[in-house]
Amino acid sequence: MSARASVAFITDQVEEIKQRQFVELVPGIVQAVRESAQASADDSVLKCMIDLADTCPKLLRANLEPILDLMLEIVRNTNLLESWRHLSLECVVTLAETAPAMLRKCQKHIPIIVPEMLAMMVDLEDDPEWSVSDEVDDEDSERYHSDWRYRHAGLMAISAVGEGCYKQMELLLPDIVNTVLPFLTDDHPRVRYAACNAVGQLSTDFAPGFQKKFHGRVIPGLLLVLEDTANPRVQAHAAAALVNFSDDCPKNILASYLDDILAKLEAVLASKLRELERGGKLVLEQVVTTIATVADTAEEKFLHYYDRFMPNLKYIMQSALSSDYRMLRGKTIECISLIGLAVGKEKFLPDANEVMQLLLKTQTEMEELEADDPQISYMISAWARMCKIFGTEFTQYLPLVMPSVMKAASIKPEVAVIDADDPKSGQYSEDEGWQFITLGDQQKFGIKTAGLEDKSTACQMLVCYARELKEGFAPYTEQVVKLMVPLLKFYFHDLVRTAAAESLPYLLECAKIKGDGYLRQMWAFMCPEVLKAMSAEPEPEVQILIMDAMARCIETLGVGCMTPDYFTELGTMLHDIIDTHKNRQVERQREYSLSFLLPVGGTSAGFVKSSCKHSQEFSK
């Protein structure tokens, strides 16, 4: 209890510059972790150690070696619960992220840490049903004997280190590719899966150079794995890796492979549609996503293939109606709209009426959908793409589309402040989508993240409507402005604030048709809140976007829109921002100068990730 209280006090109440005063508490906290591990007791003290590593790693500098010794001791202890071993490893990884130079100085530990991490990756169960499962188990990437486990672990390790070791690995890419690609034809499905994972991650981490250098070997290799019909999860993973490769592939390179890629995807799509009633949705979901990505990259070059895919995609929307196929329908909606955007209005027009009717049918059903139904966000995004395709002609659909978009954009997240000793605290679990920060000694502030992504998407779609439809969107400007202006201070989600700011100049442009008086009233409502948001914004990147939105609002309204009071407030604020920037620059120069007096370390490691970007079954 005292260790937890000490950590809570340091992390929540003590300024960073004063945290070093509490360095003498660290050995006691380390001892508390050791005693808890020996007793196999509550792991909350270990979690506190991770909090220290995350928020004030410099406080641990003097005790870093004993901390690493203890973490490795716990990782090696197979008699402990998995959670203890994983948390200990998380502590080491967190230090690698927050204090890489400090960790690099512990040279004797690094050769020990890496083999232990690989050993944990080898600890997998050989489930013969794994490769044919149509449902993804989150535990697959986290649970702990043959050689295939070592091949699998090595490939997953290559996936994980690419981003953090970019400079070192870039020079070795030919050798790495020569090592990885043969495993696409390995005897074991889990190894082929891991090879696809490595290819997908390398495609993202080293784009576009990876695509330019290795397309002649990577694409044929992935297309070969796409034929692995006996192992659907491997087949789906190959399609996911192809998404990563295509996403950042230069258009001219991808164009030369379109015949082969789309012929293979068409064959897989057709065969899985025949099996739809017996399963196969995992592969279908991924293949539909891959088709969408290829169309998005190929753009007008997809025209030649349009007629081969659109009938099957419409068939999915018409036929995949059960709740088990919600994700498939959502991805199909996304795919159709991206294809329409790629080929343009003229080619899309013959199918447009039928597609719009299918979308409208789904739209009318959305009132009955559960809040977490994935179709909702896909529908909202699809309508925005339809808006881009049809331009001002899309105005006729706004009365049907706007209610659901406004509903999603108006989502209010669940929040809770709870005591650690509250018997009801168990209902706020991370498995249920709750995320927490600690407030003081015993209290935690929690937010349920469900719906936040849908809210963000909806806000971005409102920006699209205002930008594309202009005066056609004028009837909705008042309700959208009343929604967006308060969202400038929606600190739960950066993209919501960004969309709120970006929408404002477009909304003013839309409202011009209503006359100067209406425009002045709207600006009088906007301007003070934009100034407050600009001043209070905690994220520099978002603050820049708010300032840009302010500038575009002034350009839209012209001379006379800024009152003397507004000018004074804006001038003071800009002076403060410039002054803060100047102080940061001076501090950076000071630290740069001091760095020449300290031992020079190696390259800083980035965060670890091991997932192909567009596959629903990978997790970082």
Could you write out the three-class secondary structure of 36-68? Answer: HHHCCCCCHHHHHHHHHHHHCHHHHHHHHHHHH
433: tokens are 């989508």
**pLDDT level of residue 123 (50, 70, 90 thresholds):** low
Rounded percentage of the chain residues whose pLDDT exceeds 90: 46
Tell me what pLDDT residue 608 has.
29
Which residues lie below 8 Å from residue 487, measured CB to CB, with a gap of 6+?
Answer: 459, 496, 497, 499, 500
Which residues lie below 8 Å from residue 447, measured CB to CB, with a gap of 6+?
Answer: 413, 414, 415, 434, 435, 492
Higher-scoring residue by pLDDT: 112, 598: 112
Name the residue with tokens 């279908």.
284
Contact criterion met (CB below 8 Å) for 198 and 577: no
pLDDT digits (tens, 9 = 90+) for 70-111: 999 998 888 888 888 889 988 998 888 888 888 888 888 888
pLDDT digits (tens, 9 = 90+) for 236-249: 999 999 999 999 99
**pLDDT level of residue 367 (50, 70, 90 thresholds):** low
| R_g (Cα) of the chain, nearest Å | 27
Please choose, from the candidates 316, 312, 238, the residue with its C-alpha nearest in 3D space to the C-alpha of residue 277.
Answer: 316
Helix (H) or strand (E) holding 345: helix 345-365
Mean pLDDT, residues 7-16: 71
Which residues lie below 8 Å from residue 70, measured CB to CB, with a gap of 6+?
Answer: 30, 33, 34, 37, 88
Q: Which amino acid is at 252?
A: N
**pLDDT level of residue 604 (50, 70, 90 thresholds):** very low
> At residue 617, does pLDDT exceed 50?
no
Mean pLDDT, residues 31-59: 87
Give counts: helices (H), strands (E), the chain: 27, 3
Contact criterion met (CB below 8 Å) for 454 and 380: yes
CA 549 to chain centre: 25
Tell me what pLDDT residue 130 has.
61
Contact criterion met (CB below 8 Å) for 206 and 167: no
Tell me what pLDDT residue 140 has.
44
Please choose, from the candidates 31, 232, 6, 237, the residue with its C-alpha nearest in 3D space to the C-alpha of residue 130.
Answer: 232
426: tokens are 């168990």
569: tokens are 């407030």
Contact criterion met (CB below 8 Å) for 231 and 189: yes
Contact criterion met (CB below 8 Å) for 177 and 214: yes
pLDDT digits (tens, 9 = 90+) for 352-362: 889 988 888 88
Contact criterion met (CB below 8 Å) for 426 and 504: no
Name the residue with tokens 């192909």.
612
pLDDT digits (tens, 9 = 90+) for 439-496: 555 566 777 777 788 899 999 999 999 999 999 999 999 999 999 999 999 988 899 9
Kindly report the average pLDDT of the chain as a whole number. Answer: 84
**pLDDT level of residue 55 (50, 70, 90 thresholds):** confident
CA 77 to chain centre: 33
Tell me what pLDDT residue 366 has.
63
Q: Are strands 415-419 and 434-439 parallel, antiparallel or unpaired?
A: unpaired
Tell me what pLDDT residue 398 has.
92
Contact criterion met (CB below 8 Å) for 469 and 394: yes
- Bridge partners of 439, per DSSP, are 443
Please choose, from the candidates 199, 308, 295, the residue with its C-alpha nearest in 3D space to the C-alpha of residue 615.
Answer: 199
Q: Give Cα separations from 202 to 169, 178, 205, 207, 292 (angstroms).
A: 10, 13, 5, 8, 21
Mean pLDDT, residues 374-392: 89
Q: Which of 161-175, 426-440, 573-587 has the lowest mean pLDDT?
A: 426-440
**pLDDT level of residue 132 (50, 70, 90 thresholds):** low
- Can you give the pTM of this predicted structure? 0.73
C-alpha–C-alpha distance, residues 339 and 497, integer Å:
30
**pLDDT level of residue 146 (50, 70, 90 thresholds):** low
Within 10 Å of residue 86's Cβ, how many Cβ atoms? 16
Could you write out the three-class secondary structure of 165-186? Answer: CHHHHHCCHHHHHHHHHHHHHC
Q: Phi-psi category of 445—alpha, beta or left, where left has phi over 0 and alpha has psi -120 to 50?
A: beta
> At residue 129, does pLDDT exceed 80?
no
Higher-scoring residue by pLDDT: 612, 225: 225
Tell me what pLDDT residue 602 has.
37
Rounded percentage of the chain residues whose pLDDT exceeds 70: 84
> At residue 558, does pLDDT exceed 70?
yes
Which residues lie below 8 Å from residue 364, measured CB to CB, with a gap of 6+?
Answer: 400
Q: Phi-psi category of 15—alpha, beta or left, where left has phi over 0 and alpha has psi -120 to 50?
A: beta
C-alpha–C-alpha distance, residues 200 and 182, integer Å:
15
